Amino acid sequence: MNIINQPVLALNKLWQRIDIKSVKEAFIAMMGGDGDKNPPALGIAMDYNVDADGNVDWVNPTYTEPVSWERWLELPVRDYDWAIHTNNRVIRVPRQIIQPNYVKMPIVTPRPTKDAIRKRDGNRCQYTGKLLTWKESNIDHVIPRDQGGKNTFENMVVSDIKLNSIKANRTPQQAGLKLLRKPVAPKPIPRSATLTIAYHPSWVYFMDNVTEVRGG
């Protein structure tokens, strides 16, 4: 395992999740900073109960404290910790860090990917209303690209793949079709809403919308 590239959960000053960083980026953030304007990140020191079989209760920490880089270097490395080995010491790897210069929740504007279009439209054909399987659906440019259509939420919809083939490079009006509703771009959402996978079970303590837990 390449520990330096493993994911670390980044929290803001209010302990709300805001991003995912690599171990390397987390260490750099903890060592860096620019005074009060951009202070260094803090690692979150956490202790857990471990049963007789060595199973760690990641979800219910017994101790939680943000600590500076200088204090972090003195933390012992336990059996269940990841660690980085240098020439003269072994350093515990943080699972989470706090970036105290962040207070507000970052907002994310969704990109018009195929998955995002399918999610917005519920994978229903926007000309017939038919619920489609993945293989039956396609992404249609309402205004074809060779007529100046753009790759935007407002110009892309889910379409029955057969119907889309018939429509070809024509507009709906030219093909005798009509959209069931005007396509619009999804509203910006908090960054936290997009972070639903806990890449380590200890992250669950800071997340309320986990869809999948990985690692251990």
Residues 19-41 pLDDT 10s: 999 999 999 999 986 555 668 99
> What pLDDT is recorded for position 84?
94
The residue among 147, 28, 47, 40 whose CA lies nearest residue 100 is 40
* pLDDT bracket for residue 216 (50, 70, 90): low
Percentage, residues of the chain above pLDDT 70: 97
> What pLDDT is recorded for position 69?
95
Q: Are 106 and 18 in contact (CB under 8 A)?
A: yes
Pick the range with the lowest mean pLDDT from 58-62, 162-166, 194-198. 194-198
Q: What residues have CB less than 8 Å from 4, skipping those under 6 apart? A: 22, 23, 24, 84
Provide CATH 1.10.30.50 ranges for the chain.
114-175
In this prediction, residues 97-118 reach a mean pLDDT of: 89
User: 114-175 architecture in CATH?
Assistant: Orthogonal Bundle (1.10)
Mean pLDDT of the chain: 92
What is the rounded distance in angstroms from the CA atom of residue 138 to the CA atom of residue 115?
Answer: 11
Task: Write out pLDDT tens, residues 119-141.
Answer: 999 999 999 999 999 999 999 99
> What pLDDT is recorded for position 167?
95
- 189 to each of 20, 62, 108, 110, 185, how far by Cα in Å? 17, 33, 5, 8, 12
> What pLDDT is recorded for position 35?
57
Task: Write out pLDDT tens, residues 180-213.
Answer: 999 999 999 888 888 889 999 999 999 988 889 9
Task: Write out pLDDT tens, residues 141-152.
Answer: 999 999 999 999
* Token reading at 181: 């509703």
